[in-house]
Amino acid sequence: MHPATTLLRDIADLTTEFERHLGRQLTVNPTDLEAMDHLIREGALSPTELANRLHITTAAVTTVVDRLVAVGHVSREANPRDRRGVLVVPAPESVRRAMSTLMPMILGMDDVLSDFNDAEKDTITSYLSRVVAVYRAQLPSKPADSA
Amino acid sequence: MHPATTLLRDIADLTTEFERHLGRQLTVNPTDLEAMDHLIREGALSPTELANRLHITTAAVTTVVDRLVAVGHVSREANPRDRRGVLVVPAPESVRRAMSTLMPMILGMDDVLSDFNDAEKDTITSYLSRVVAVYRAQLPSKPADSA
DNA sequence: ATCGTATTATTAGATCGTCTAACAACATCG
DNA sequence: CGATGTTGTTAGACGATCTAATAATACGAT
């Protein structure tokens, strides 16, 4: 096994550990953190959309949102397009708090790249793209969900 | 955010999805899969060692091992060095089954690298090492556990 | 327009996984 | 040896998710 392949594995493990760390910062469990992650990256989502992304039922999402509302990380708002629907909106202050832990990481990642020239950056990007392709090839295709 | 940084994120997500896939192959839950992962990579481990690696209590490990024994993925054996102790030993057939899903992935990863020359491989490895360093810098240091 | 069907979010009750606490068996060290 | 620590297990509590049922609303075909 090539060193790079091993490093990729290390990064995966470190990512998991970082998520535990971030969860502690926001005092939420792993599922609730993942919900926040989606809300931060995609903006307000409906419970159904969250359920698809988290791979849990909408019943479970109801309790996820209950917990997040209780600690002030999100609010439930009416969906203007569908009177049955609900929109789960992330609280700006919570987004800010998450960002304060996330940004050093992201900046650190980008900073690593600044030490490589353009050709090297292309090599790295090309490598990572191909790794993604290998993953996708091995996985049973997951069609787009937008529910 | 640089494309490479985004790809790294994609790889993290795909890794999680791949683990779900692998868990289905072996019909085990995420925790039990992670236990198998450690047993496959490190060989037989004691319940205490598993508890440290999985971040759960030894009481929880007892039930993890109970489940894995029930489906034949591991066996409990006496620890020759300590008469209180137990060794959790992975079943060869289960290791083989896991490998049949794991190997295409690992070979695919190594294969990607074979399309790069030595200088490019160095660039890639150097990049990944630095990414690992960034993670470690952001994380509260986790000392070695060998219990 | 209206009726039947589908979808949305919630609740209630069951189940599963993990925790804390207590314990028995054994190790270790002064 | 005897006090103290460690190992793994059990019992009971709790938390998170599931299935099933339900009310409210959307939507499609006639």
Indicate if CB(A84) is under 7 A from strand D. yes
Exposed / middle / buried, residue B4 (Cβ in 10 Å: 0-12, 13-18, 19+): buried
Residues of A in contact with B34 (CB under 8 A): none
What's residue A142's pLDDT? 60
Write the pLDDT tens digit of every residue in A61-80: 999 999 999 999 999 999 99
Centroid of chain to Cα B81: 26
Q: Please give the pLDDT value at position B147.
A: 45
Nucleotides of C under 7 A from a protein CB: 7-13, 16-22, 24-28
Spanning CA of A76 to C1' of C9, the rounded length in angstroms is 12
pLDDT for B141: 73
B10 vs A contacts (CB less than 8 Å): 132
Q: Report the distance separating Cα A14 and Cα B49, nearest Å.
A: 19
For chain B, list the domains and their CATH numbers. 3-112 (1.10.10.10)
- Check whether A145 has a pLDDT greater than 80: no
Task: List pLDDT tens digits, range B92-128.
Answer: 999 999 999 999 999 999 999 999 999 999 999 999 9
Q: Output the CA torsion B49→B136→A38→A30 (10° steps).
A: 20
The pLDDT value recorded for residue A146 is 46
The bridge status of strand A86-90 relative to strand B86-90 is unpaired
Indicate if the pLDDT at residue B83 is higher than 90: yes
Q: Of B7, B123, B130, which has the smallest distance from its Cβ to A132's Cβ?
A: B7
User: Is strand D in 7 Å reach of the CB of A62?
Assistant: no
In three-state form (DSSP H/G/I as H, E/B as E, the rest C), the secondary structure along A13-27 is HHHHHHHHHHHHHHC
pLDDT bracket for residue B140 (50, 70, 90):
confident
Best interface-test mutation with A: which of B1, B2, B20 has the largest number of A CBs within 10 A?
B2
The number of residues in chain B equals 147
- Measured between alpha carbons, how far is A46 from B56 in angstroms, rounded to an integer? 33
Which pLDDT score, from 0 to 100, does residue B146 have?
Answer: 45
Cβ contacts (< 8 Å) between A12 and chain B: which residues? 11-12, 15
Interface contact B14-A135, CB threshold 8 A: yes
Which residue among A10, A55, A134 places its CB closest to the CB of B105?
A: A134
Positive or negative torsion for Cα B101, B64, A10, A129: positive
Q: How far apart are the CA of B9 and the nearest CA of chain A, in angstroms? A: 9
The predicted complex's ipTM stands at 0.91
Mean pLDDT over B64-81 rounds to 97
What distance in Å separates the CA atoms of residue A102 and residue A117, rounded to the nearest whole number?
Answer: 26
Q: Does the pLDDT at position A18 exceed 50?
A: yes
SS3 A1: coil
What is chain B's mean pLDDT, rounded?
95
C-alpha distance from B130 to closest chain A C-alpha (Å): 7
Q: CB < 7 Å to strand D — which of 14-53 in chain B? A: 46-48
Residue whose C-alpha is closest to residue A113's, from B117, B120, B3: B3
